[in-house]
Amino acid sequence: MDTFIKIAHRGASGHEPENTLRAFEKAIELGADMIEFDVHVCKSGEAVVMHDATVDRTTNGKGEIVGKALKELKSLDAGKGEKIPTLEEVLNLIDRKTKVNIELKRSETAEPVTKIIHNYVLNKDWSYDDFLVSSSDFAELKSFFDKKIPVKLGVIIRKGNSGLKNIIFRKYSYLDFAKSINAFSIHFSKFLASSKRIKEARRQGFSVFVWTVNSESEIKKFKARKTDGIFSDFPDRL
Ligand code: G3P
Ligand code: MG
């Protein structure tokens, strides 16, 4: 990839409540090339856009997403009066104005996300190329890969969960795992994004994106390390 990609992390979450339609609207307004958001599946089976497994931190409610039906989730305030959006509501708002990066947060997300992507491509004029699907849950990413849907895949490498406990990862290096699922990109936490790791991943043909980078000095640092894109809560700073 030749051009640098500006990725809005959880939407423009430095300006508006994370993972809400407001944050996604703001990211479009600020000129993001791609919008990243996180997907869980709730009790009634819908794919909903939220970061944590519980609603405690980002809403006025309490409890796990898997324990709540969509109707109950919709009664909560996700900040500034915003509701927790479904994946479809987010795609409808973005409407191909930017690329989207769907992060699979939990097991059992691959199936509903696959169905929704197919539907948007077959019936709503989206293209498979509009999507980048990523996860640090390697089993879920592998299960998404096995569905043979022609979208790009990204492997997330995070501190404390670099996949070492993961059954798949135990056998391979993360780059070998990425190759085994024909991944497009490696998404490093900034704490792991050394020049050496970035260089090696790019040498092996992967695009490299780093998260979550908000300060001007760090943005400069990771650009100098020749990353292909940066995730920021402030896409306007990229
Ligand atoms: O996908 C990049 C980044 O979003 C991964 O971390 O915890 O913000 O979802 P997190
Ligand atoms: Mg994320």
Q: Is residue 168 scored above 80 in pLDDT?
A: no
Short-list 21, 5, 126, 34, CA closest to 74: 21
Protein residue whose Cα sits closest to atom 2 of ligand 1: 211
21-29 vs 87-94: helix axis angle to the nearest 10? 20
Per-residue exposure over 89-110, b if at least 16 CB sit within 10 Å of its own CB, e if not: bbbebbeeebbbbbbbbbeebb
pLDDT at 90 over 50: yes
- 213: confidence class by pLDDT, cuts 50, 70, 90: very high
Q: Is 15 a catalytic residue?
A: no
CATH number of the domain within which 189 lies: 3.20.20.190
Mean pLDDT of 161-169: 48
Q: How many domains does the chain have?
A: 1
Gap between the Cα atoms of 111 and 154, Å rounded = 17
| Cα–Cα distance measured from residue 84 to residue 94, given in angstroms and rounded to the nearest whole number | 16
From ligand 2's centre to the CA of 37, what distance in Å? Answer: 6
Question: Are the C-beta atoms of 7 and 231 separated by less than 8 Å?
Answer: yes
51 flagged as catalytic: yes
Res. 36: pLDDT tops 80:
yes
CA distances from 38 to 14, 118, 125, 171, 224 (A): 16, 19, 23, 27, 28
Residue 155 has pLDDT above 70, yes or no: yes
The number of the ligand nearest the C-alpha atom of 34 reads 1
Closest ligand (CA of 38): 2
Q: Which residue in the list 40, 51, 118, 187 is annotated as catalytic?
A: 51
**pLDDT value of position 195:** 96
What tokens does 119 get? 């539907």
Q: What is the mean pLDDT of the chain?
A: 94
Encode pLDDT of 77-86 as tens digits. 999 999 999 9
Ligand nearest to the Cα of 186, by number = 1
pLDDT over 80 (residue 162) = no
Tens of pLDDT, residue by residue over 51-79, are 999 999 999 999 999 999 999 999 999 99
Binding pocket residue ranges, ligand 1, CB within 6 Å: 9, 36, 38, 51, 103, 134, 156, 187, 211-212, 231
Residue 78: per-residue pLDDT: 98
Whose Cα sits closest to atom 4 in ligand 1?
A: 9
Report the nearest-CA residue for atom 1 of ligand 1.
103
For the residues 160-165, what does the mean pLDDT come to? 51
The ligand 1 atom at the shortest distance from the C-alpha of residue 9 is 4
Provide the pLDDT for residue 139. 86
Q: CA 49, CA 20: separation in Å to the nearest integer?
A: 8
63: left (phi over 0), alpha (psi -120 to 50) or beta: left
With CA atoms as reference, report the closest residue to 159 among 200, 192, 196.
192
Write the residue with the smallest CA distance to atom 7 of ligand 1: 51
Three-class SS state of 6: strand
Domain boundaries, position 117: 5-237
pLDDT at 198 over 60: yes
pLDDT band at 158; cut points 50, 70, 90? confident
Range name among 1-15, 100-114, 121-135, 149-163 with the lowest pLDDT average:
149-163
Mean pLDDT of 108-124: 97
**What are the tokens at 138?**
């390697």
How close is the Cα of 87 to the center of ligand 1, in Å?
A: 17
- Binned at pLDDT 50, 70 and 90, residue 160 comes out as low
Among the atoms of ligand 1, which is closest to the Cα of residue 105?
A: 9
| Burial (CB count <10 Å: 0-12, 13-18, 19+), residue 170 | exposed
